[in-house]
Amino acid sequence: MQPKSTTHDCKIAQLGHPILKTRAQEVESILSPDCQTLIKEMMATVEQAGGVGIAAPQIYQSLRIFIMCSKPNARYPNAPLMAPTAIINPEITGFSAELEKDWEGCLSVPSMRGFVPRHREITVRYTDQLGTLKTAVYEGFIARIFQHELDHLNGLTFVDRLDSNQDLVSESYWYQHYATKL
């Protein structure tokens, strides 16, 4: 399946929309103009929304593409800086046994934060925007972003990863009680 053109002021799919529960399709023609346009639009959308990542299903495209673009911002003040990166047809090929719980938010789950367990370190394989196969090892916050966005491609949100409903709080409560301790 090929990407359909969107506009970068499009709305982001919200929790409950069926596209967020569906496994996204492999991207076949990465260098096609439609795919390259979709990547640019995803980068613009995540920038406008103040996120550190976004997956194609979040903008109503059931394709295995996400953007990672970690940087400190109001939502993640301690986020490390990384250049916006298109991750296409990703897979995790290895991971640490060690799990680490930390707070996550999501552009598709506004006003909520979850204390989510994730692998501390992961080894990954993906194709970049130029069609080059890449392998990488990510740890900490960057590994968390990768796992969070990959979940979107597999029809999951961070809510599906919570150990308990007690690990879900409103974002306003999170800012009052947890953000000040970062």
Would residue 3 count as lying in a domain? Answer: no
Amino acid, single-letter form, for residue 122: I
Sequence-separated (6 or more) residues with CB below 8 Å from residue 165? none
Return the pLDDT at 6.
40
Would residue 57 count as lying in a domain? Answer: yes
Distance CA 36, CA 159 (A): 30
Return the pLDDT at 2.
42
Any idea what the CATH number is for the domain that residue 41 is in?
3.90.45.10
Per-residue pLDDT tens listing for the chain (182 residues): 444 434 334 589 999 999 999 999 999 999 999 999 999 999 999 999 989 999 999 999 999 999 999 999 888 888 999 999 999 999 999 999 999 999 999 999 999 999 999 999 999 999 999 999 999 999 999 999 999 999 999 999 999 999 999 999 999 999 888 887 66
Would residue 11 count as lying in a domain? Answer: no
Domain extent for 95? 18-178
Would residue 137 count as lying in a domain? Answer: yes
Would residue 13 count as lying in a domain? Answer: no
Per the CB < 8 A criterion, the answer to whether 151 and 160 are in contact is: yes
Number of domains in the chain: 1
How do residues 89-112 score in pLDDT, each as one tens digit?
999 999 999 999 999 999 999 999
How do residues 145-166 score in pLDDT, each as one tens digit?
999 999 999 999 999 999 999 9
Return the pLDDT at 48.
92
The catalytic residues are: 149
Find, among 120, 61, 71, the residue nearest to 96 by Cα: 120
Q: Is 152 annotated as a binding residue?
A: yes
Q: Is 148 annotated as a binding residue?
A: yes
Q: Is 119 annotated as a binding residue?
A: no
pTM given for the model: 0.92
Tokens matching residue 48: 């406008």
Residue 30's CB: how many other CB atoms inside 10 A?
19
Distance CA 114, CA 103 (A): 5
